[in-house]
């Protein structure tokens, strides 16, 4: 069950990070652009974590 929660949180962070990154780029705000990129990477890590948990639960 935890893997679904991690995947959902990861997806949300990835999407929000992408939006922040694009807004930062469009408004020439390097700080917002960097925070968005970092949040996007965090989201990708959360999704991977959820996938690993799911695989381990199947063993």
pLDDT per residue as tens digits for the range 27-48:
999 999 999 999 999 999 999 9
Confidence of residue 58 (pLDDT cuts 50, 70, 90): confident
Q: Count of domains in the chain?
A: 1
Residue 59 confidence class, pLDDT cut points 50, 70, 90: confident
Q: What residues make up the domain containing 22?
A: 2-58
Percent of the chain with pLDDT over 70: 98
Does the structure show a pLDDT above 70 at 1?
no
Distances in Å between the alpha carbon of 59 and those of 19, 24, 29, 31, 43? 37, 43, 46, 43, 25
């Amino acid at each position: 069950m935890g893997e679904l929660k991690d995947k959902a949180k990861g997806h949300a962070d990835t999407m929000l990070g992408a939006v922040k990154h694009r807004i930062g780029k469009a408004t020439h705000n390097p700080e917002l652009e960097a925070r968005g990129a970092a949040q996007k990477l965090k989201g990708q890590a959360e999704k991977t974590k959820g996938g690993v948990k799911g695989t381990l639960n199947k063993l």
